[in-house]
Amino acid sequence: MKKKEFIVITILLVISLGGIALYYIINATNQPLYVRVTSQGEVVTILPLSEDHTETFYTPSGGYNTLTISNGKAKMTDADCPDKICVKTYPISSPGETIVCLPHKLVVEVVTGNP
C-alpha cells in the first residue's frame, strides 16, 4: 500500500471514529431517557426507557413490530417485515441511537428528557 493511500485511510478512520465518539459525547446526558416511536413520519408514542415494557405497533397496511424495553435497553423483538432488519439491530440505550424498520416506515429512537 502506498503512503498516500495509507494517509487517506487513516484520515477516514479518524473522521468516522471521531464522529461516532463526538455523537455520543454531545448527546451524553444525566436526564431521564425516553424511547420515541415514529410511524409514517408521525410520533406514535413516547415511553420511558427506565420501565420494562412490551408493546406491539401496527402499520396501516396490517404489519406489526413488537418493541421490548428491558434493563434500560430497547430492542425490536418481533416483526413481520420481509427483511427482519429491525429485529437484527442491536439493542439501543444511548441518546440518538435508532432502530429503523424501512418496510413499515417505523423509527424507534432514544431521546432525552421532557419529550
Block residue for cell numbers 417485515 = 81
Q: Is 77 in the site for other proteins (CB under 8 A)?
A: no
Region near other proteins per CB under 8 A, out of 51-59, 63-71, 101-109: 101-109
In the complex, what is the shortest distance from the CB of residue 7 to other proteins, in angstroms, rounded to a whole number?
A: 10
Question: Interface with other proteins includes 29 (CB under 8 A)?
Answer: no
Q: Which of 29, 31, 32, 40 binds other proteins (CB under 8 A)?
A: 40
